[in-house]
Chain A
Amino acid sequence: MTTKRLQIKNVSVKFGGLSALQDVSFEIDDNQLLGFIGPNGAGKTTLMRVIMGMITPLSGSVFLDGKNITGLRSVQRIHAGVALGQQIVKPLRKMSLLDNVALASGGAKLLSPLRALMVRERSEEREVAQELLIQVGLGDHVQKLPNELPLGFLKRLEVARALALNPLLLLLDEPLAGLSKPEAEQMADLIASLPRKGLSVILIEHNLLQVQRVCPTLYVQSNGRALAFGDTNKVIAEPEVRRAYLGVDA
């Protein structure tokens, strides 16, 4: 049996009396780009937060490369190879874009203040950051502060920062939201290229056009329950999905 990059097994989450996730299970392979859609309130961000360790599930388990990471804290999961690009961008506004990304590529130094204290050199991390910023199309803005740039650029910064963590699994929460059509297309192309570099990606997105264009596999969730999983075009054609997500009768 081959090990899956990520396995979610029977995860349930409750907020007070409200069931946010009910017995959700799915898995993704190495180098796979999985689209993840669902109507507002479907529990998409909650599931991302469960994978990141920001929310403890009531029941169920999360496995990364066959290793149970359910008990690990967020920072441990990040160093185990999970990274998150958040829906609401949160750049460090007092740092240049270069330092925002360089910090993320600090690796094991960031786990221990004593280890970090022994190192002053940042040139290696800055080189990595420079390359990543060029990759996401921010090569001309590396020394700028986040406040000097529009939302579309900050979304790219969020992706570059997540990539700097050198993840095995990248979770992207609505990276195309708020972008113009050409910007969204550019970003979607960038995301589509990531599995070729050895990453598995889960892309939460409302921009169905781009999801359909770049994601070979799709997972749909509604009211905290898994609704469909499989080939993107087949899943979108399913009557239940069309009814729940698109509001269209079959």
Chain B
Amino acid sequence: MTYEIVVLTNMAIAVLFALSLNVITGFCGQVSLGHAAFLGIGAYTSAMLSKAGVPMVITFIPAMGTAALIGLIVGVASLRVRHDFLAITTMGVVFLFTGIVRKQELLGGEIGIAGIPAPDFGRIGLLVTSLLCVLAYLLFTIWIRRSWTGFAFDSISEDEDTATLLGINVPKFKLFAFIVGTSGAGLAGALYAHQVRFIGPDSFGFVESISVLAMVIVGGIGSIWGVILSAAFLSALPQFFQVIDDYKLLVYGLLLFGAMRFAPDGIDGLLRKVSRWRAVK
């Protein structure tokens, strides 16, 4: 039973992490190749505070806040770049993050932080907490999607210049997407730190950034339900098949290639096509 609980908790954390990137890349159209850095910022903040005796749930707030603050700084720095330049800039963030963490003794350096306290309410409690966090973030993203913010995001993701001519304050909306997305990643990081109870710089590198991007693209960029399905499935897969974990980057790379080539709208697009086809028949 413990194993299933661990798998389910991992799935919930992956879903939260993917949903957070979906706000930035899916809703607002800002490609980010460095999202794992914000997972790491949340994880390290939460782990350090937890080790200092702060209750786990309380550490969620500074974990989200720190990730959002760094996200805001990255967002401001990225305002003038678009498309592939933005992708390269955000990729730099993840290298910068791991590079800094490796050199900081306070953060455990290369070795990382071990002995992160287990949550008082046990593994089931952590699973329930993770599911509640996913639910809260999910409801918030659904709200964003249906609000005028989501409406504005739709135009920004398609054409920023046109969005500006429609009276949309594009920089503010982009920064908002960065803040919401990176704070979500920070929360996922806090949960992750208490799930694995050991974190090191390698857990938040470029591979993790690509993995979460694969989840968003395979699910369907911008699709909430597609991303949930994809993140849940792709995060569980390596836990059932060791070979996938060994060749994770290769598998995710192939999935990314396959999705971009054959199903650019991901699972969501495929499901829509099937339902249209069934309706016609």
Contact = CB atoms under 8 A, between A and B. Distances in A.
B265 to A, nearest CB: 11
Interface string A92-125: 1111000100011011011111101111101000
A75 B168 contact: yes
B147 interface: yes
B146 A120 contact: yes
Contacts of B169: 75, 110-112
A79 interface: yes
Given A103-B152, A106-B167, 13 more contacts: A75-B168, A84-B165, A90-B161, A92-B159, A94-B154, A110-B148, A110-B152, A113-B176, A114-B176, A116-B149, A117-B144, A119-B147, A165-B167
Given A112-B172, A113-B173, A117-B144, A161 B166 contact: yes
B154 A95 contact: yes
A74 B143 contact: no
Interface of A: 52, 74-75, 78-79, 83-84, 86, 90-95, 99, 103-104, 106-107, 109-114, 116-120, 122, 161, 165
Contacts of A113: 149, 152, 172-173, 176
A241 to B, nearest CB: 31
Contacts of B164: 74-75, 78
Given A90-B161, A95-B155, A117 B168 contact: no
**Which of B149, B155, B176 has the largest number of chain A CB atoms within 10 A?**
B149
Given A117-B143, A117-B147, A104 B173 contact: no
Nearest to B157: A94
Contacts of A99: 151
Interface in B86-141: none
A234 B264 CA distance: 58
A93 B158 contact: yes
A147 to B, nearest CB: 12
**Which of A94, A113, A114 has the largest number of chain B CB atoms within 10 A?**
A113
Contacts, number: 87
24 contacts: A52-B165, A75-B169, A78-B167, A84-B165, A91-B162, A92-B154, A92-B162, A94-B154, A95-B155, A99-B151, A103-B151, A106-B168, A110-B152, A113-B176, A116-B147, A116-B152, A116-B173, A117-B148, A118-B147, A120-B143, A120-B146, A120-B147, A161-B166, A165-B167
Contact of A165 (B148, B152, B161, B166): B166
A104 B163 CA distance: 9
A98 to B, nearest CB: 12
Closest 3 CB pairs of A and B: A116-B148, A113-B176, A116-B149
B151 A106 contact: yes
Contact of B167 (A92, A107, A117, A120): A107
A242 B265 CA distance: 55
Nearest to A91: B162
Contacts of B151: 99, 103, 106, 116, 122
Interface residues of B, number: 24
B149 to A, nearest CB: 4
Given A111-B169, A113-B176, A117-B143, A92 B148 contact: no
A92 B158 contact: yes
Interface string B152-188: 1011001101101111111011001000000000000
Contacts of A116: 147-149, 151-152, 173
A161 B168 CA distance: 13
Contacts of A86: 165
Nearest to A119: B148
A52 B146 CA distance: 30
Given A113-B149, A116-B147, A74 B165 contact: yes
A78 B164 CA distance: 9
A116 B144 CA distance: 9
A203 to B, nearest CB: 17
Contacts of B161: 90
Given A104-B166, A111-B169, A94 B158 contact: yes
**Which of A74, A75, A93, A110 has the largest number of chain B CB atoms within 10 A?**
A110
B19 to A, nearest CB: 17
A117 B166 contact: no
Contacts of A118: 147
B150 to A, nearest CB: 8
A81 to B, nearest CB: 11
Contacts of B166: 78, 103-104, 106, 110, 161, 165
